[in-house]
Chains A and B, each alone.
Chain A
Amino acid sequence: MSERILYRFPGGFHPEQHKNESNAKPIRRAAMPAQLVIPLKQHIGATAEAVVNVGERVLRNQRLAKADGYVSAPIHAPTSGLVRAIEEHDVPHPSGLRAACIVLEPDGLDEALQAFEPWPDFGEIAPLLLRERVREAGIVGLGGAVFPSAVKLAGTPGTAIHTVLLNGAECEPYISCDDRVMRERAEEVLRGGQILMHVVGAGKCLVGVEDNKPEAIAALRAAALKLADPRFEIVAIPTIYPSGAEKLLIHVLTGQKISRETRVTERGFLGNNVATAAAIYRAVVLGEPLTRRVVTLTGSGLNAPGNWDAPLGMLASDLIAQAGGYQPDVARLVFGGPMGGFALASDEVPLTKAANCFLVLAAPDAPVEPLPMPCIRCGKCAEGCPVELQPQQMLWDARAGDFERAEKQDSLFECIECGICSAVCPSHIPLVQYFRYAKTEIWQREREHEKSSVARDRFEFRNTRIERDKQEREAMLAQKRAQLAAQKAAEPVAAEAAVDDKQRAILDAMARAKARKEALQAEKTAASEDAAHE
């Protein structure tokens, strides 16, 4: 096998690895806890919609919530039990906000449902059906980005995928869940790679693993030999943070630089984390939805660091208790790794599809944040930046509130939030915090701007409506007034006629009376004349 030429991305740095604490022991399977708290949003995109009712008994692999829209993912039950509640619960999020969760009380029977038909001969299944399976099984990127995998598999119309990339770099310190998955489930990972190649019609599968994981590389190479599939190439890449960022990994492996606006699928690559590939294998070949994941519990604050295969929804507190509990001087709980992760307020948060690590630090490793000093323009952040930004300039603009400049001139959104700038800053300036703040602030302003446009439209519409109503009412009044005037104009004639009628009747009556009187008179005269003649 010819040696692949590897490339070096700009910047990067070498943090202390701390991998040995957790990567020595095999993955252990967590015992089912008394309660599972399963968030409805464990992925990028729309929150899933619950399809079970409170009080309902569900089986393992049964769908609990359905995907709401194209960019979304369903959620399945990790075991059988009763749905106790659908309510707001603490979730692992930097805000500490609560979110809707399904609370499932396992009944200990672990009765399963065959969610999907197993397809051991996936090569005979149409790619479209396989993609639908990945979607139905609720599979999302397990490297931490949790983007729905089926959406990724759809690729970019008009661009063929030539290479499937399995990302086993795991560059973040402390974390070793992918390492253990590659060592123990290498064949599942590669079979997942075969499914991915079949779905997108790629002829090559590159597996990039940092060279600090020789056992994983050996296990993958052995599995590739066993599968006798020449399309696989397992590449050991130099250990340098953040080589696991997808576009940087592509740079290392192929020398291609891909800008933020370009998706990797547009360049013919499909990237997936190794654990995602293993989950795709299980969904297709065994017909199992994604209900568990491997998570690293590590750090100086734990008695026994290690990797655990645990059901989604298991509370970190339960998991840590099973894993041997905290050291007495425990000080900080971090979700994810030390570079890209965030501190949690509580350990009562569930394991989600995004959770690759719970890092627990003891007091000496979690010092109080030193107060930031002024920037001395040393340029270390710019040297370390793997995407060639000018962090000190971005900091300046973000601090001044000049977000437009930060976005347009400094390319703020190119920032991958790797945290190197913060880590190397001699003035302890939390640069990446400024960038996260600036990004979310820009989104917030966009939302507010959108809302204000809607408010303007509604206000203007209301004004036009009121104006229109007023005009309509005036028009109606005018019409009525005209009608009245017309009636008045017609009335006098009628009155005259009425008077005439009456008078005529009176005159008639008078005439009749007169005639009658005359008749009577004539009769009387005739009678007296008769009497005179006699």
Chain B
Amino acid sequence: MWTAIVVFTVLALALGLLLGYAGQAFKVEGDPLADKIDALLPQTQCGQCSYPGCRPYAEAIARGEADINQCPPGGEATIKALADLLGVEAKPLSAEHGVEKPKMVAWIDEQVCIGCTLCIQACPVDAILGAPKLMHTVIVDECTGCELCVAPCPVDCIYMQPLVPTLEQWRWPSPEERLAIAEESVAGSVRMDSHQHEVAKTGRAES
């Protein structure tokens, strides 16, 4: 009996030391869970989740303080991805934080802009260029569409505009979207008038 006790005590001690050492030696800097959550967030930095940016929201979720349905720009896709990551049930977007909208970018009416730099200070990703009393403009490729620049503008010259896809960025609509469009259009057939793009999407080359 004593041998068994001794063997297990020694084993327990040795393994405990090993674990303790491993815990010190392979210590992970930062919060890996928050990193993973952060990677799924859209990085709009809009603050609609009530946290000052995506990273703080990710940390709040990791701590269990925030729910996964507070990100309107990410929408359903982000909620689903977060639910998969955290192993919880997906839920609809929380209405108090906003609604899911199509991708937009800010546009400054340069005729009206007075060059006050307030929007530059508000932009979380430095996507606005300009200097005091000089015209400002938005770098479209860097704009996340967070709308944080709209409110500070004293002359209301910033507008959110839908992002027009280029040929390279365009994606095929899913057949379900196409069916929805077809129901709205005339009998779902392709008319050959000019500029009937919506109708065109219902055409089917395969026959």
Chain A interface residues toward B at CB < 8 A: 41, 90-91, 93-97, 99, 330-334, 336-348, 361, 365-369, 371-372, 398, 419, 422-423, 429-430, 432-434, 436-437, 439-441, 443-444, 447-448, 451-456, 458-463
Contacts and interface: CB of A to CB of B under 8 A. Distances in A.
B124 A462 contact: yes
A343 B44 contact: no
B43 A345 contact: no
Given A434-B174, A456-B54, A339 B206 contact: yes
Contact of B205 (A331, A342, A434, A441): A342
Contacts of B188: 368-369
Contacts of B38: 456
Contact of A333 (B124, B170, B190): B190
- Size category, B interface: 35 or more
Contacts of A452: 41-43
Nearest to A372: B175
A422 B206 CA distance: 7
Contacts of A94: 172, 200
Given A334-B205, A440-B172, A463-B53, 18 more contacts: A91-B167, A331-B190, A332-B203, A339-B205, A345-B196, A345-B197, A346-B192, A346-B193, A369-B188, A369-B202, A423-B207, A430-B175, A430-B204, A440-B171, A443-B171, A447-B169, A451-B43, A458-B142
B207 A455 contact: no
B170 A458 contact: no
Contacts, number: 153
6 shortest interchain CB distances as A-B pairs = A343-B203, A96-B197, A345-B200, A440-B171, A452-B43, A455-B43
Interface in B146-204: 165-167, 169-175, 178-179, 182, 187-190, 192-197, 199-204
Interface of B: 38, 41-45, 53-55, 124-127, 142, 144, 165-167, 169-175, 178-179, 182, 187-190, 192-197, 199-207
B22 to A, nearest CB: 31
A429 B54 CA distance: 40
A103 to B, nearest CB: 16
A338 B169 contact: no
Contacts of A91: 167
B178 to A, nearest CB: 7
Given A434-B175, A440-B172, A444-B171, A332 B142 contact: no
Nearest to B177: A437
A461 to B, nearest CB: 8
Nearest to A95: B170
